[in-house]
Amino acid sequence: MLAQTFQHQVSPAKPLLHMKSKLPQGRLIVLLVSLISCASIAVAEDADWPVYLGGKRRNLYSPLDHIDRDNVTELKEAWVYDTGEVGEYQANNLIVDGVLFTPTQSRKVVALNAATGEEIWVWDPASEHTGKGRARQRGLVYWENESGGEKRLFTGVGGFLFAIDPATGETIREFGKDGSIDLESGLNTPGVIYRDTLILGGVGGKGAVRAFDVRTGEQRWIFHIIPRPGEAGHDTWPEDAWKTATGGMPWCGQSLDEERGIVYVATKTAEPDFYGGSRHGQNLFANSILALKAETGERLWHFQIVHHDLLDKDLPCPPVLLTVTHEGKKIDAVAQGSKHGLLFVFDRVTGKPLWPIEERPVPQSDLAGEEAWPTQPFPTKPVPLMRQRYTEDDVSNISPEAQQQTLDRIRMSPNFGPFPAPSLRETVMFPGFDGGMEWGGGAADPDGIYYVNVNEMPWLLQMIETRHADGTPMIPGEKDYLVYCAACHGVDRKGNAAMEFPPLAGIGARKTREEIETITRQGGGRMPGFATMPEARRVAILNYLLSIDDTPTNDGSAPGQAKAEPKEDSKPGDASGDVHKQAEQDNSSRYAFGGFRRWLDAEGYPAIKPPWGTLNAVDLNTGEIKWKVVLGEYPELTERGIPPTGTENYGGPLVTAGGLIFIGATADETFRAFDKETGKVLWKAKLPFGGNATPSTYTVNGRQFVVISAGGGKSGRPKGGSLVAFALPE
């Protein structure tokens, strides 16, 4: 590519040879040096973004500095491309030789002129054996051989990996079987190329990291995250767990130290996520950072960041490779962020932590058959990037109503820190299920500064029993009542007089169904409304409250008829004649997760004192936080005199040599540029939909562009499918 660019920018060789006879040798040498320098500048000016997250180190850093602190205020929209689709559009787009490649929400791959946004070609999986794709996709893999003669794009659809010709958009039929290989797992984040090998993880499946030949699709090696007999870590699981256990798949991507030939992998939770009674033990190599030989898959070192995970604390973002000065020495390091807002930093060669990591006791589970791990690791540096516990001091302060509501709930459903033990009793889950840090990951500059956005959104955690103590299943609506209503009104529906939550037992004698339905939609008294609850779930809960069962009956009554309520003093199991049946049941099917529930106040804002989202700069030379600022704003709250709160945010930052951090991510459909030294906002622009993606930057003909996918859909925001590029005026 260098030779091609040089030839394009400089006059052909023949005129140079002709000039030789007319110029003194010294002047000719000066001219040649000058031309070579100009060619080098041209090469630097036309800079690509050919790798997901900016490079195999996944550090989201660009050496481009055309757009800088002084001129960023002049940044304007250069072009917009509409995918024609609606949904979460989270792609970090690739740019190679002036062509932008983006995967759409239906898993099409589109090639655009990177300078104008003009469409060049579209690859549509609807014409392949998989049919139309679905679900979010965050990127593609580009490969070319050393001579540039062979080039391929890789994308995942429906559990298959396809190879595409980047010049034509045609499927490369000699790859795998007629252009694809069966991964037997989903793929939402691309892998990483090592020489002529593609290393990737996946979503779902038995848990593995695999390497494939980029030309044939043949598997070259596999590393089992759930170890087989004889493999290291096998003894951290039940003996035969490897036969049936699932999870652990490294869905968030990998990073690569290409010079050393080491690939770094961040893994997922073992399954089931919230009850581990069938997978006792530490569960290596789930929730771990792994260093593997890129050539063979051999494990070099590992560190498990969550033991025997019961809270879906999978590692949410790829490891970031950077170089720091630690205790007076240059250290090639790897930094791994977590959903609980902690940052773990290791020597990337030895796996030794740069600062001590302590095992600290955490709450234990009271669920039958569960054996929670007694401790979890906490780094002593850097300090947590978010609050680690929700206390009464953290109740919302955006209104008196929100303050009272959050105070009531935290008193009934207290938070127990970042590792509450799953229980039949509801608790506030904070840090929340989506972080802390999330899949957008962090950026790092050559100075050893790590930049990352963080969520401070509370969620609610509760396990429920799927059957009664006598073994009988719960009727429709009963499970949903336990999840949504029991925390305030009681499992027995007797309410809580001290907290002014009324009883719901016998409510059909006091209110009509229409009145109850209105209250559930709009709220009433101390109760917020549930206007966004799916209608089928609302109907099921109302039927349960009114003692109506929609299932076929054996007592002669028709479905939908009211049944007599049980006597107040009756106990589960009385009618079964076998109170010991519960003990004979398999505990692994006895409990179910109550569902992912953000905790919002009655107005729909996070039920906690702001900030709700932040952008952070961490100096990994010292382990100290350099600065922290709010990320995002709700204009309607600002108009009420409330300082900017930050918002829930999804998508990562991009840091450049121009001294800037570009990030979308927020729930206010805004793209921002921050000063990387101070965290001050220098520029912002409205997007058509939320930029819940990580931006890319590149140059074409010497003009620098910054581009971001904007599809919205997160945090209940509007959905669309726009690709928006910004540049300085020509």
**Average pLDDT value for residue range 208-219:** 98
Which tokens in the block code for residue 318? 């790829």
Which tokens in the block code for residue 304? 């498990």
Cβ burial 354-380 (10 Å sphere, 16+ → b, else e): beebeeeebeebebebbebbeebbbbe
Which tokens in the block code for residue 198? 């593609």
How far apart are the C-alpha atoms of 722 and 692, rounded to whole Å? 11
Which tokens in the block code for residue 583? 């003990």
- % residues pLDDT > 70 (the chain): 86
Return the SS3 of 319: coil
Higher pLDDT, 306 or 559: 306
Q: How confident is the model at residue 42 (pLDDT cuts 50, 70, 90)?
A: very low
**Average pLDDT value for residue range 210-226:** 98
Higher pLDDT, 705 or 469: 705
The values of phi and psi at residue 309, to 5°, are -60, 130
Contacts of 355 (CB under 8 A, 6+ apart): 345, 379, 380, 381, 382, 623
Which tokens in the block code for residue 612? 């709700």
Contact assessment for residue 22 and residue 62, using Cβ atoms and an 8 Å cutoff: no
The structure tokens 């401790």 sit at 375
How far apart are the C-alpha atoms of 314 and 17, rounded to whole Å? 63
Across 129-133, 253-257, 322-326, 592-596, least confident range? 592-596
pLDDT at 500 over 90: no
Q: How confident is the model at residue 334 (pLDDT cuts 50, 70, 90)?
A: very high
The values of phi and psi at residue 514, to 5°, are -65, -40
Alpha-carbon Rg of the chain, whole angstroms?
A: 28
pLDDT at 554 over 70: no
Per-residue model confidence (pLDDT) at position 575: 30
Report which of 126, 230, 121, 214 is spatially closest to residue 176, judged by C-alpha positions. Answer: 214
Which tokens in the block code for residue 701? 């003909």
Report CA-CA distances (Å) from 603 to 403, 560, 607, 634, 648.
12, 34, 10, 12, 15
Per-residue model confidence (pLDDT) at position 4: 32
**Average pLDDT value for residue range 309-320:** 97
How far apart are the C-alpha atoms of 269 and 286, rounded to whole Å? 5
DSSP 344-382: EEEETTT--BSS-EEEEE-----STT----SEEEEESSS
Rounded to the nearest 5 percent, the helix, strand and coil shares of the chain are 15, 30, 50
Which tokens in the block code for residue 229? 């007999």
Per-residue model confidence (pLDDT) at position 45: 63
Which tokens in the block code for residue 466? 């799927």
For the segment 348-396, what is each residue's pLDDT rounded down to a tens digit? Answer: 999 999 999 999 999 999 999 999 999 999 999 999 999 999 999 999 9
Run of H or E residues at 685: strand 681-686
HEC secondary structure over 204-262: CCCCEEEEEECCCCCEEEEEECCCCCCCCCHHHCCCCHHHHCEECCCCCCEEEECCCCE
DSSP 516-554: HHHHHHH-BTTBPP-TTS-HHHHHHHHHHHTTB--S--S
Per-residue model confidence (pLDDT) at position 596: 87
**∠ CA 335-341-344, rounded to 5°:** 25
pLDDT at 26 over 70: no
The values of phi and psi at residue 546, to 5°, are -95, 15
For the segment 611-624, what is each residue's pLDDT rounded down to a tens digit? Answer: 999 999 999 999 99
Per-residue model confidence (pLDDT) at position 479: 79
Per-residue model confidence (pLDDT) at position 532: 62
Per-residue model confidence (pLDDT) at position 571: 29
Per-residue model confidence (pLDDT) at position 40: 38
Report the sign of the C-alpha dihedral through residues 12, 17, 22, 28, in that order. positive
Return the SS3 of 187: coil
Per-residue model confidence (pLDDT) at position 524: 67
Across 14-18, 197-201, 202-206, 210-214, least confident range? 14-18
Per-residue model confidence (pLDDT) at position 679: 98
How far apart are the C-alpha atoms of 649 and 221, rounded to whole Å? 36
Q: In 10 A of CB 25, how many CB atoms?
A: 8
pLDDT at 569 over 90: no
**Average pLDDT value for residue range 465-473:** 80
Report CA-CA distances (Å) from 694 to 392, 444, 654.
35, 14, 7
For the segment 644-699, what is each residue's pLDDT rounded down to a tens digit? Answer: 999 999 999 999 999 999 999 999 999 999 999 999 999 999 999 999 999 999 99
Per-residue model confidence (pLDDT) at position 515: 87
Across 459-468, 529-538, 682-691, 716-725, least confident range? 529-538
